[in-house]
Amino acid sequence: MKARRDVFQAIADPTRRAMIGLLASQTLTLNTVAENFQMSQPAVSKHMRILAECGLVEIVKLGRERHCQARLGALEEVARWAEQYRLFWNNRLDTLQNLLKDED
C-alpha cells in the first residue's frame, strides 16, 4: 500500500470528484456507487481506494458489503490552500483598482 496519498492528486480526477459529490450527502455501498458510473466495478473499487487512502472516504466492511462514507474534513487542506491564494489575488486586484482610481 502506498504510504499516504495526496488529496490534491486524489481530487484531480473528475470521476473521483463526482464520487465525493455522490457520497457527500449519503453513505452508499460500493455496488450502488458503481451503478452511477459507466465503468466496471473494479475500476470504481480502485477509485474508492484512492479516496480512502487520502482520508476522503472511509470504507466500512459490513458482511460482504463495503459501505463508503465521505470524510470531507480532508478537503480543508485544499480549501485553505486555494482560498489563501484567491484572497491574495483579490487583494492585489483591489489595490490595483485603487491605484487606477487615484490617478483620476
Residue 4: contacted member of a copy of itself, DNA, none (CB under 5 to 8 Å, by partner type): none
Binding segment toward a copy of itself, per CB under 8 A, in 35-43, 47-55, 67-75, 94-102: 67-75
Which 8-state DSSP code applies to residue 103? T
- Of residues 4-63, those binding a copy of itself (CB under 8 A): 6, 8-9, 11-12, 14, 17, 20-21, 24-25
Residue 75 in grid coordinates: 478537503
**Residue 86 binds a copy of itself, judged by CB under 8 A:** yes
**Measured between alpha carbons, how far is residue 81 from residues 37, 43, 46 in Å?**
30, 29, 27
Rounded Cα distance, 83 and 46, in Å: 30
